Amino acid sequence: MHSLIETAKGSVDQAELYWSRRHTIGVLYQNRRLQQVEENDLSSLALRVVDNGKIGSGYGVFPDADGLLDGARTSARFGDTATFSFAPSAEFATVRTFDERTAALTSGDLIDLCESVKGRIEKHLPDTPLILRCRAQTETLVVETSEGAEGETRSTGFGIGFGAPFRGVGISIFKGDQSISPFDVDDALIDEFVEWYRWGDSTSTPSTGRLPVIFAPEGAFLLLLPLLMGASGDLVSKQTSPLVGKIGEQILSERLTILDDPLRDGDPNGRPFDDEGTPCATQTIVEKGVLSDYLVDLRSGAALGRPPNGHGFKRALFGGGAELPPSPWFANPIIAPGDESWRDLLGGLKEGLLITGGMGFHSGNYPQGQFAVQAVGYHIVGGQVVGRLDQTMISGDIYEDLRNVTAVSREQRRSIVGLLSGGFAPYILVDSLQVAGA
């Protein structure tokens, strides 16, 4: 047990310690050139306490924890009445989150990989202003509470992303992957990048009105983030979620099953416990379109009169970190695959859109399920991609438009772009969405 928890136990009712230490190396290429080499050695420490029945928190930098307990106690003096206890002792599932080979990587190794990927892409796309980013990280995360939770996990993360602005414009396309282990980039992913990049050589304007839309895995965040907010125990307890009282009801198409699975071995989002020390578990959120459960942390669990289910994370729409209070969040969202080929879905459309992203998501009323974004993706006519979308907006409501999902692909991929990095998604064909364009 960390000495800070020992010290705290003598002076406050309860204490919860979150401590992270990360070592990261990374390289960045811009316009095909090595722009910078990066190395970070960062730590952070967050302490929550319950003191005289009030909750307070403090944040500091390891190893200098001086004043952290005093700061948390000061915060508790003004704080709200604690409605919950910190996590008790529990057994955590075993998840493989660490690979020694990633921890041993050097920046020279990352440069070698980027040079190799660059060379393979340049065979097809010479003189393209490629951007490549490769990172390797080792993290030790500890969550301990005075109530007995003792979680410690070592993890590694390895990721590479590559992309380029489309010819003559600023908007870019990116592909990539992540793992806990070092890997080389599949030829298939490079071929797909080359094909999709060339699709963007020209633009095409779709008809205004309602059109069928295929969401690529990269665009799945447009659907998952409104669902995350709706299923958040926090919004449910405040009665502001559109999913209040909807457990057991059909909220999406029966073709959609959505899990949260932090227990996948080798997955960079793998976690045995959440940021409050509650065990993580594989959980179905939506099964065949029916809402199965909410995402619940300690606070929202107390408000809803039920135990937490391991979804208290220090994350937010933009970033995350020790300074943030935990709130309900996905650990590792996965949309289950269907049984069709995504290319068949595309080939079957008379006119439609292939969506890889959307700009301006956060400006919309997404907690209520609605989105209105500038579409990033491609225009499909006669089963063929005819060009990149330009000045096209799509809008909808996931609880209306995602009741009409026509097909889900058997291919799944991890998304490394968008606001919800990580998670697996297939291609999803939605019967129609509202489209407006120039």
Partner 1 sequence: MKDRLAAIVAELPADYADIRYEENRKVRILYEGKKLKEVASTASSGGHTRAYTDGGKAISSFSDPERADPMARSTCASAAHAGALRERKIRLADAPALTDAFLLTPTQDPRQVPLREKLELAAHYNDIILESPDVITTQTAYDEFASRRVFVNTDGSAIEYELLNCGIVGFIVTKKADVVQRVRFAFGGCEEYGRLLDREQDLRKQIAKARELLDADPVKAGIFPVILDPSEAGVFIHEAFGHLSEGDGLQNNPAFRARLKLGTRLGHSLLDVSDDPTLAGRPGHFTVDDEGVRGVKTRLITEGVLTGRLHSRETAAEFGEALSGNMRAVDATFTPLVRMSNIFIEPGAGSFDEMVASIDDGYYLVGAKGGQTSGDQFTFGAQWGYRIENGKIGSMVRDINMSGELFSTLQAISMIGSDLKFGERGGCGKGSPMQTNRKSGTGAPHIKIDAVTIGGV
Within positions 165 to 194, which residues make up the interface with partner 1, using CB under 8 A? 165, 167-172
Q: Is 436 within 8 Å of 410 (Cβ atoms)? A: no
Interface residue with partner 1, options 7, 38, 181, 432 (CB under 8 A): 38
131-145 and 384-388 beta bridge pairing: unpaired
How many angstroms separate the CA atoms of 48 and 266, rounded? 31
Interface residue with partner 1, options 116, 350, 391, 410 (CB under 8 A): 391
- Tell whether residue 138 is a contact of partner 1 (CB under 8 A): no
Half-sphere exposure of 251 (CA within 13 A, CB side): 28
Interface residue with partner 1, options 9, 33, 343, 410 (CB under 8 A): 33
Interface residue with partner 1, options 109, 118, 129, 189 (CB under 8 A): 129
Minimum distance between the CB of residue 333 and partner 1, rounded to whole angstroms? Answer: 20
- Tell whether residue 348 is a contact of partner 1 (CB under 8 A): no
Binders of partner 1 among 257-296, rule CB under 8 A? none
Element (H, E) at 110: helix 107-122
What are phi and psi for residue 4, nearest 5 degrees?
A: -65, -40
**What 3-state DSSP class applies to 276?**
coil
Q: Which of these, 126, 176, 193, 183, lies nearest to 156 by C-alpha position?
A: 183
What are phi and psi for residue 260, nearest 5 degrees?
A: -120, 115
- Tell whether residue 387 is a contact of partner 1 (CB under 8 A): no
- Tell whether residue 390 is a contact of partner 1 (CB under 8 A): yes
- Tell whether residue 359 is a contact of partner 1 (CB under 8 A): yes
- Tell whether residue 53 is a contact of partner 1 (CB under 8 A): no
What residues does 131 pair with on adjacent strands? 163
**What 3-state DSSP class applies to 8?**
helix
Interface residue with partner 1, options 43, 140, 282, 284 (CB under 8 A): 43
What are phi and psi for residue 383, nearest 5 degrees?
A: 75, 10
Minimum distance between the CB of residue 62 and partner 1, rounded to whole angstroms? Answer: 7
Binders of partner 1 among 221-260, rule CB under 8 A? 238-240, 242
- Tell whether residue 207 is a contact of partner 1 (CB under 8 A): no
Task: Give the residue with the Cβ less far from partner 1, 32 or 288.
Answer: 32
- Tell whether residue 140 is a contact of partner 1 (CB under 8 A): no
How many angstroms separate the CA atoms of 358 and 362, rounded? 10
Binders of partner 1 among 148-167, rule CB under 8 A? 165, 167
